[in-house]
Structure 1
Amino acid sequence: MKNLLFLFLFVTTFSFSTNQKPTATSINEVTVYVNGAQITRTAKISLPIGTTTFKFDKLSPNIQESSIQISGLKSASVLSINYGINYFSKQNKSEDIEALQSQITLLNDNIQFENDLISGYEEELKVIHDNRHIGNENQAVTLEKLQQFADYYRKRITKIKNLIHASSKKKLEFNEQITEIQKQLIEFNVDDKVQTGEITVKLNSNQVSQLNLIIKYNVDNAGWFPIYDIKADKINAPLQLAYKAHVYQSTGSDWNNVKLILSTNDPNTNNEKPEVNPKYLNFISRYSTYNSTRATKNYNYKYNPFIQTVSGIVTDESGSPIPGVNILIKGTSNGVTTDFDGKYSIRTNGGKELVYSYLGYKTESLPIHSSITNLSLQEDVSMLEEVVVVGYGTQDKRNTTGSVSSINMESKSNNYQKKEENQTTNGDIIEEGITNQRFEIKKPYTIQTNGDITVIEIDKYLISASFSYFTAPIINENVFLTAKMGDWEQYNLLPGEYQHLL
């Protein structure tokens, strides 16, 4: 008996030690890339001596497991890090969602109250109908008493039915309000049972300590893309360019009052060093062949999930429109062809890339990044049949497809790590690296996980421009005012759309 009792206590103690209570975390900072985001969470923990397991729950189900980093460990060491999906947990609800669901509960209570009233009225009607007989065989009812009973029944039945009708109307109104609230909840993508991410960390320590852990990880289903507001007050005044970011996220976890950093970097881009094949210029005779190996084009375009329709013109290298070019949504059979003027328009239908193909030209594939996409196709020439003379004398082989820039890598200067730091007109900090920019937004933002766009103004510029009027009455009766900007590369802007020109 004692052995059984000891075994029961041991099993009970073991079960309590293994069932770790989830540790609360909060999002402090989010770095939003053009495709994806890095989340920085903090957690305060009390670490005893020995090995302890901590669970951080209600995280995004879209975490890239290989990107999880944990710091702030002091003398503790990490024994293991595991990431999993909980398919039965309930996600935290925002105040707006809780308020709407409370309204539904109150309306359902009101509907139940009206149902109880209607039941009471109907029972009263039943009692009146069951006792509508007056008098008996031995006692006659006077006419006056009969009129009194009839008057009472008529008035009471009429009042009861009016009360039932009023309660029914109230029920109808309450149900309509519930339907409207449910539509709002659908907009919030509310689901009691949702997938959530969980990170389980096993730590070991030789001493008792209080730790402020910093947990970083990358997530999908988030990003930002640029939008430009261009305004012109006068033709003799500079253009006003507002550089704005449209930030979106549907990661499964709200970002509440967090510090935002917008980065032009894309962590999902292939970071392997490219091999650039040189192209040599040679004299070509009738007995030799010329193999054209074109360098890979780098458009630096990023997918924009909010583009619904893409239109534009497809031309050749000389600028002439190409009719009949096939344009397909990559991975599908949905597509269109360009008309006689090389123009096209296609619905994206959730696609991410467009593929342009035409006989005799190189096939191009572009991310859906803008609602207006013009493209120039290059001819696919495998052999030149003409003799091209480039000049007199001889010519050495030169690399004409790539360029190399040297960077001083001396340990004293460390120029390859150095970044230039300044501020935007809004007071936000700009960090310029070798290949990307980071905008540290001073104002904290709340971005809910509903896929809606949050507009953030990054910077403003005054740009000198030369204005001119253009008209072609045969084609279009309107007169167009055009603005030409020079040296725009200095602003280091990303490819994007402009909203309006005033």
Structure 2
Amino acid sequence: MKRIACVLIIGLQVIPYSISAQKAVEVNSNITDVVIYLDAASITRKAQVNLSEGRTKISFTGLSPYIDFKTINIKTPEGVSIESINHSNNYLSKKDKNEEAEMLSKKLTNLEAQQKAISTSISVVNEEINFLNDNRSISGKNEAVSVQTLKDASNFYGSRIKELRFRSLELSEQLNEINKKTEETRRQLSIINSKPNSPTGEIEVLLETTSPKNEVPIVVSYLVKNAGWFPRYDIKANSLDRPLTLVYKANIRQETKEDWKNVKVKLTNSEPNVSGVAPALKPYLLNYGLLPPRYGKIVNVVQGRVTDTQGNPLPGTNIVISGTSIGTIADTDGKYSINIPTDANSLTFSMVGFKSRTLPINSNTINVVMEEDEVMLEEVTVVAYGIASDDYDRSRKSEVKKEAPKPKITGGAVTESGIIEKPTSVEFELEKPYSFESENKSQDVKLLTYEIPAEFKYSTTPKVDKGAYLWVNIPEWEMYNLLDGEANVFFENTFTSSTLIDTRKALDTLKLSLGVDKSISVKREKVKEITKKQLIGSSKEETRGWKITIKNNKIQDIRITVLDQIPVSVNEEIKVTLLEKTNATVTPDTGEVRWELTIPAGQFKELILTYSVRYPKNRNLFVE
């Protein structure tokens, strides 16, 4: 697998204690460039330092604690040599969630104070109501109470009680709102406190020069985990006879413990180290003891919740279909939902500070409990002589320009010149600098908007699913540099479904399922008059008949592919004979029966499929 540029090790030498113990000079550095891989990121920092004659040790501090030390690359100008590089994590100066936790703690304290104040006000109002209720009786020992006195007292009591009860109701509503905010803040604070504290990364470099030098440019790059991206798409179709609009987006996450502010960003699908999913038929093999293929509950979508061992939600957890770039992120309650391609086997769950988990896809609901993982990175020293090479400069020389027709780009953060195609990968270079804070939230960036000429067509497999799926065929799809990912489908500015862009099996044309169109009805029913069983000499013969009805309720004509099947015998004693197929084509090896139809608007078509199975009468055979 491809590996990020690392320091060229020419020789090793033991550094005398007096030199290695030399106090390092801390330098200020800024992140200028970031290359984001599907599950990692390459960081480039730049700094300017003043060097004395001889040896000077400098230190880059406040870095990510997740640096892969083998990928550290130092670049210096001519006349400055690199004597050694030392990477370590500083556990005394932790770069963690203190600032956010402190802010939430202050917010919680303020909310709790508001709770007490409102509760006190409610108590005062209730005490006054009780006081008025206890003193409602008006009487005089020596003289009668006048009617006017009773009237005045009644008016006072009525108006005051009404005012107090409305005030009590208003305060109760305020208290309920404060209680909700308090609970939300406590939950957020609990999530932050549940994460293990992280140290800060440090890189010490011992440089040597024959003369003093000022403002020497130093470039350091390294690979970090806990960052990555995956593609997402919006597919928009306003009509079946107009071009398709495809919005190519990048869902970017980064929890490296260092913020990326106004940096140049590249996205790549290379590796630094080396339900709108339509059903498919299975071959119907016929033999003694064999049952017809079963179509259990198809797992097209998996959803669930990700929590820690205490039951707290883990928002920002990365969920990826293993072996693909198809992924999603858990929401603030730890809940997620992801579309599943037909050949997917497992999901991988990863979260900073927790052990990654890979689980098989055997249900529509997968709830996951993540265990904490204490990161223990040992201090490593690498000694090198000379100037490290820059693999990125060499990689640009191998760029390959595509000679095929260029796609029509109508918008996005990437221009045509920002698409860099390489022999085994593609890069997207964002035109303007971007900022990404280190947090458990993902950020969508609209990379490109394509206008794509496309062909729309329907298909249905009524034996498995009565739905009529709308498909779009995209010719020469390679020019769009599409990666596997989830897509939201919009028709006439209305969200209709979600689907998958899966390029792994695509040939010249990429076929995408846009989901079920409910305006097309499909029925498959057994024809009782044809279905029968009889003895013919020494054989039994069973006949099966099916009627398929497709009705087009749309206001325009449609083209639709209808799929069914007949059994395939794998025993010479068993003979399968196709009796009626209504102009269908049949694939003998698999038994697939296919109709290609054009159905006018408001019309319907009926298809008949009939076959017989003959086998020895002394044998038993299950025929569907």
TM-score by length of 1: 0.54
Residue of structure 2 aligned with 1:320, choices 263, 278, 283: 283
Change (3 A) 1:376 1:452: closer
Measured in 1, the distance between the counterparts of 2:342 and 2:444 equals 26
> How much has 1:320 moved relative to structure 2?
3.3
Measured in 2, the distance between the counterparts of 1:312 and 1:89 equals 54
How do 1:35-434 and structure 2 match up within 5 A? Answer: 35-91=39-95, 100=104, 103=107, 180-186=184-190, 193-209=197-213, 210-269=215-274, 319-320=282-283, 340-341=294-295, 345=299, 366=323, 369=326, 371-375=339-343, 417-420=398-401, 425-426=411-412, 427-428=414-415, 429-434=418-423
Aligned to 1:450: 439
Measured in 2, the distance between the counterparts of 1:104 and 1:22 equals 37
Q: Do structure 1's residue 484 and structure 2's residue 465 form an aligned pair?
A: no
> How much has 1:253 moved relative to structure 2?
1.7
> How much has 1:182 moved relative to structure 2?
4.7
The 8 Å contact of residues 37 and 269 in structure 2, kept in 1 or not, is answered as yes
The 8 Å contact of residues 229 and 243 in structure 1, kept in 2 or not, is answered as yes
> How much has 1:82 moved relative to structure 2?
0.8
Aligned to 1:465: 454
Aligned to 1:25: 29
> How much has 1:181 moved relative to structure 2?
3.9
**Letter aligned with residue 443 of structure 1:** K
Measured in 2, the distance between the counterparts of 1:438 and 1:448 equals 22
Listed one character per residue, the Cα deviations across residues 32-56 of structure 1 (whole Å, up to 9, x for unaligned) are 0112110011122111112111111
1:489 is paired with a residue whose SS is: helix
1:490 is paired with a residue whose SS is: helix
Measured in 2, the distance between the counterparts of 1:446 and 1:415 equals 25
The 8 Å contact of residues 89 and 193 in structure 1, kept in 2 or not, is answered as no
Measured in 2, the distance between the counterparts of 1:352 and 1:171 equals 38
Measured in 1, the distance between the counterparts of 2:325 and 2:71 equals 27
Change (3 A) 1:49 1:442: same
TM-score by length of 2: 0.45
Work out the number of aligned pairs and report it: 329
Listed one character per residue, the Cα deviations across residues 70-121 of structure 1 (whole Å, up to 9, x for unaligned) are 113431111110111112213277986675466567779x79x99xxxxxxx
The 8 Å contact of residues 312 and 372 in structure 1, kept in 2 or not, is answered as no
1:373 is paired with a residue whose SS is: coil
Aligned to 1:298: none
The 8 Å contact of residues 54 and 202 in structure 1, kept in 2 or not, is answered as yes
> How much has 1:244 moved relative to structure 2?
0.9
Measured in 2, the distance between the counterparts of 1:27 and 1:260 equals 11
Measured in 1, the distance between the counterparts of 2:400 and 2:50 equals 38
Measured in 2, the distance between the counterparts of 1:264 and 1:353 equals 14
**Letter aligned with residue 445 of structure 2:** I
**Letter aligned with residue 480 of structure 2:** Y
> How much has 1:190 moved relative to structure 2?
8.9
Measured in 2, the distance between the counterparts of 1:171 and 1:474 equals 57
The 8 Å contact of residues 59 and 196 in structure 1, kept in 2 or not, is answered as yes
> How much has 1:189 moved relative to structure 2?
6.5
1:203 is paired with a residue whose SS is: strand
In structure 1, stretches of 5+ residues that fail to align are: 1-13, 115-168, 270-308, 323-338, 355-364, 378-413
1:40 is paired with a residue whose SS is: strand
> How much has 1:258 moved relative to structure 2?
1.9
Measured in 2, the distance between the counterparts of 1:472 and 1:314 equals 8
Change (3 A) 1:492 1:175: closer
> How much has 1:196 moved relative to structure 2?
1.6
> How much has 1:446 moved relative to structure 2?
2.1
**Letter aligned with residue 479 of structure 2:** Q
Q: Greater helix percent: which structure?
A: 1
2:247 is paired with a residue whose SS is: strand
1:64 is paired with a residue whose SS is: strand
Measured in 1, the distance between the counterparts of 2:242 and 2:264 equals 36
Measured in 2, the distance between the counterparts of 1:376 and 1:251 equals 29
Change (3 A) 1:460 1:415: closer
2:457 is paired with a residue whose SS is: strand
The 8 Å contact of residues 54 and 210 in structure 2, kept in 1 or not, is answered as yes
Listed one character per residue, the Cα deviations across residues 8-30 of structure 1 (whole Å, up to 9, x for unaligned) are xxxxxx99x94435322221111
**Letter aligned with residue 249 of structure 1:** Q
User: Which is worse superposed, 197-206 or 67-76?
Assistant: 67-76
In structure 2, stretches of 5+ residues that fail to align are: 1-17, 118-171, 286-292, 307-316, 328-338, 346-394, 492-624
**Letter aligned with residue 227 of structure 1:** R
Change (3 A) 1:241 1:171: closer
Aligned to 2:38: 34
Give the aligned CA root-mean-square deviation in angstroms.
Answer: 4.5
Measured in 1, the distance between the counterparts of 2:210 and 2:29 equals 24
Measured in 1, the distance between the counterparts of 2:216 and 2:88 equals 24
**Letter aligned with residue 255 of structure 2:** S
Listed one character per residue, the Cα deviations across residues 408-460 of structure 1 (whole Å, up to 9, x for unaligned) are xxxxxx99734439996435311122222111112322222223211111111
Measured in 1, the distance between the counterparts of 2:245 and 2:273 equals 33
The 8 Å contact of residues 312 and 343 in structure 1, kept in 2 or not, is answered as no
**Letter aligned with residue 417 of structure 1:** S
Measured in 1, the distance between the counterparts of 2:487 and 2:80 equals 51
The 8 Å contact of residues 240 and 463 in structure 1, kept in 2 or not, is answered as yes
**Letter aligned with residue 91 of structure 1:** K
1:22 is paired with a residue whose SS is: strand
Change (3 A) 1:89 1:234: same
